[in-house]
Amino acid sequence: MTDLAKYTKELSDLFMSSDNILLICHINPDGDAIGSQLALYHYLTSKGRKVAMISPNKLQEFLKWMDGADNIKIFTGERKECIKYIEEASLIVLLDFNQQNRLGEVEQYVLRSASKKVIIDHHLEPQDLADLIISDTSKCSTAELLYELIKDIEGKPFNHIKFSESIYVGIVTDTGNFEHGSYTGRTLHIVADLLETGIDKERIHNLVYNNYSESRMRLLGLALNKRLIVIPEMKTAYIYLTQQDLNEYNHVMGDTEGFVNMPLSIRGIDFSVLFIEKSGFIKLSFRSKGYFPVNEFAAKYFSGGGHLNASGGEYNDTLENTIAYFLKALKETRISTD
């Protein structure tokens, strides 16, 4: 566990002395990335700071309702404006990641920038990317870490409804709605504090989890019925989706969120993988139950990373070749670890 108090003064000084603050989340931002980004945005703007936000690519549909999300500039769509923000920033805060390749096309501009940089994150093994690295892997989410940091800066919980909502979304989504082992009693104390600020948890739950299209539900049907392969002797199951599948079911960003968790509910399966065909490469998501470090698997074979039980990576080949390569890697790993 990290003693956060030692960062409080330096962080607070940076926040209060920087003219143009820029908050950047990771590519394919999840609820924790956007939740942390918006929470910090609401905190800093309420303190009168000038703040801009960039996401390397588009937001998933189920996060677009969040207060402030419209102010996040999407690099792939608003390149010029985003580059200007990066060049003019006096402080850049990188949220919910610690590897430079998680910046996508934004990477080169951030690396080139002379601005002060801070990382706030909960993933393992941070790269030396910033002047101040606040990394605590004991936290279930970057949102939980950020909540504690702001509480330390303020000397008391920061009571602000938009801030609370954003932190709550980060915690709920990164714990899989309190399903993963990553949260602690401390997390639940924070959730209790957040609920007391008056957030409407039912409304948030419905906006995050019950807000999909009919075609997404049918895509899930296809995935489970026709695209799920179970390998009981390897305690593994995987789902693959082709570009054609996604097109046929009118896929929008965020539609496949959660698919990778489902095979873990099959008895005897402790490792689940989702392959999604993108243009020119395959995006992989990994989930496990118990002690199978999918972050190490993702790093070793798929230039990726993440957490013990949830990680992701990429592979630059066809879907067929990627699955064949994965099956080889799986054999190598499971036979040597079992």
Extract the tokens encoding 285.
């998501």
Q: How far is the CB of 311 from ligand 5GP (least distance, A)?
A: 4
CB 319 within 8 A of CB 275: yes
User: Cα separations (Å) of 161 from 48, 108, 309?
Assistant: 17, 35, 31
Site for ligand 5GP in 17-46 (CB under 6 A): 28, 30
| Size of the residue set binding ligand 5GP (CB under 6 A) | 14
Residue 304 interacting partner from Mn ion, ligand 5GP, none (CB closer than 5 to 8 Å by kind): ligand 5GP
Report the sign of the C-alpha dihedral through residues 266, 272, 275, 276, in that order: positive
Q: How far is the CB of 69 from Mn ion (least distance, A)?
A: 17
Contacts of residue 189, defined as CB under 8 A and 6 or more positions apart, other chains included, come to none
Residue 306 near ligand 5GP by CB under 6 A: yes
User: Cα separations (Å) of 275 from 162, 313, 327, 330, 338?
Assistant: 35, 10, 12, 14, 24
The residue (of 273 and 330) whose beta carbon lies closer to ligand 5GP is 273
The CA distance from 321 to 165, in Å, is: 42
Residue 141 near ligand 5GP by CB under 6 A: no
Site for Mn ion in 28-47 (CB under 5 A): 32
The residue (of 143 and 220) whose beta carbon lies closer to Mn ion is 143
CB-side neighbour CA atoms (13 Å) of 56: 22
Task: State how beta strands 91-95 and 228-231 pair.
Answer: unpaired
Instruction: Select from 172, 240, 312, 322 the one that contacts ligand 5GP (CB under 6 A).
Output: 312
Stretch that binds ligand 5GP, among 81-89, 180-188, 219-227, 298-306 (CB under 6 A): 298-306
The CA distance from 289 to 180, in Å, is: 9
Q: How far is the CB of 59 from Mn ion (least distance, A)?
A: 15
The residue whose two tokens read 């490792």 is: 271
Stretch that binds ligand 5GP, among 2-10, 78-86, 302-310, 326-334 (CB under 6 A): 302-310
Binding-site ranges for ligand 5GP (CB under 6 A): 28, 30, 99, 102, 285, 304-307, 310-314
